[in-house]
Structure 1
Amino acid sequence: MRLAVLLAGMALACAATVARADIYGYIDAEGNAHFSAEKLDERYQLFLRGDGAFDSAELKAPAAPAAAAPQGAIQQYLARHPNLKKYEPLMTQAAHDYAVELPLLKAVMAAESGFNPGAVSPKGAVGLMQVMPATAERYGLQADKRNSVSEKLADPKTNIRLGARYLRDLMRMFPDQMALVLASYNAGEGAVQKYRNRVPPYPETQNYVKLVTQFYHLYKPAQPASPAQAASASGRVYLTIPGRGNMPTRSVIEQ
Structure 2
Amino acid sequence: MLVLLLLFLNHGAVADVWTYIDEEGVAHFARTQLDGRYEVFYRDATPAERAGELPRSENPAPEPAGTSRVVTFFEISPQVKAVKHHLREAAQNQRIDLELLQAIIATESGFDPLAVSPKGAIGLMQLMPETATRFGVQASAKFTIEKQLLDPHTNIRAGSRYLAYLLGLYSGDVELALAAYNAGEGAVLRAGRRIPGFQETQRYVKNVMQLYQTLKPPVQLASRKPGVNPGGGRVRVTLGGAVNRGNLPSESTLGRPLVADIFNF
The Cα offsets for residues 68-100 of structure 1, whole Å up to 9 and x where unpaired, read as xxxxxx777655321111211110010000111
Pairing partner for 2:245 from 239, 244, 248: 248
TM-score using structure 1 length: 0.67
Question: Matches of 1:141 and 1:216 in 2, distance apart?
Answer: 27
Q: Equivalences for 1:54-133 in 2 at 5 Å?
A: 54=64, 59-60=68-69, 78-133=74-129
Per the alignment, in what secondary structure is the counterpart of residue 48 of structure 1? Answer: strand
Alignment partner, residue 62 of structure 2:
52
TM-score using structure 2 length: 0.64
Report which of the two has the higher share of helix. Answer: 2
Alignment partner, residue 252 of structure 2:
none
What percentage of residue pairs aligned between the two structures are identical? 41
Question: In the superposition, relative to structure 1, how do residues 102 and 55 fare at CA in structure 2: closer, same or farther (>3 Å)?
Answer: farther
Q: Equivalences for 1:184-203 in 2 at 5 Å?
A: 184-203=180-199
| RMSD, aligned CA | 3.7
Alignment partner, residue 66 of structure 1:
none
User: C-alpha displacement at 1:204, in angstroms?
Assistant: 1.3
Question: In the superposition, relative to structure 1, how do residues 175 and 115 fare at CA in structure 2: closer, same or farther (>3 Å)?
Answer: same
Is the contact between residue 136 and residue 158 of structure 2 (CA under 8 Å) also seen in structure 1?
no
Question: Matches of 1:23 and 1:210 in 2, distance apart?
Answer: 14
Residue 144 (structure 2) pairs with residue 143 (structure 1): no
Question: Matches of 2:186 and 2:200 in 1, distance apart?
Answer: 16
* Runs of at least 5 residues in structure 2 that lack an aligned partner in the other structure: 20-26, 32-39, 45-60, 223-234, 247-265
> Which range moved further: 171-180 or 205-214?
171-180
Residue 27 (structure 2) pairs with residue 5 (structure 1): no
Structure 1: which amino acid aligns with 2:203? N
Structure 1: which amino acid aligns with 2:42? L
Question: In the superposition, relative to structure 1, how do residues 182 and 153 fare at CA in structure 2: closer, same or farther (>3 Å)?
Answer: same
* Runs of at least 5 residues in structure 1 that lack an aligned partner in the other structure: 12-20, 26-32, 40-45, 61-73, 227-238, 250-255
Pairing partner for 1:162 from 158, 165, 172: 158
The Cα offsets for residues 185-208 of structure 1, whole Å up to 9 and x where unpaired, read as 111111011110111111211111
Is the contact between residue 114 and residue 122 of structure 2 (CA under 8 Å) also seen in structure 1?
yes
Alignment partner, residue 179 of structure 1:
175
Question: In the superposition, relative to structure 1, how do residues 225 and 248 fare at CA in structure 2: closer, same or farther (>3 Å)?
Answer: closer
Is the contact between residue 209 and residue 242 of structure 1 (CA under 8 Å) also seen in structure 2?
no
User: C-alpha displacement at 1:108, in angstroms?
Assistant: 0.5
Alignment partner, residue 70 of structure 1:
none
Question: Matches of 2:210 and 2:155 in 1, distance apart?
Answer: 23
> Which range moved further: 132-141 or 188-197?
132-141
Aligned length: 203
Question: Matches of 2:179 and 2:209 in 1, distance apart?
Answer: 11
The Cα offsets for residues 24-57 of structure 1, whole Å up to 9 and x where unpaired, read as 79xxxxxxx999xxx7xxxxxx74225231469x
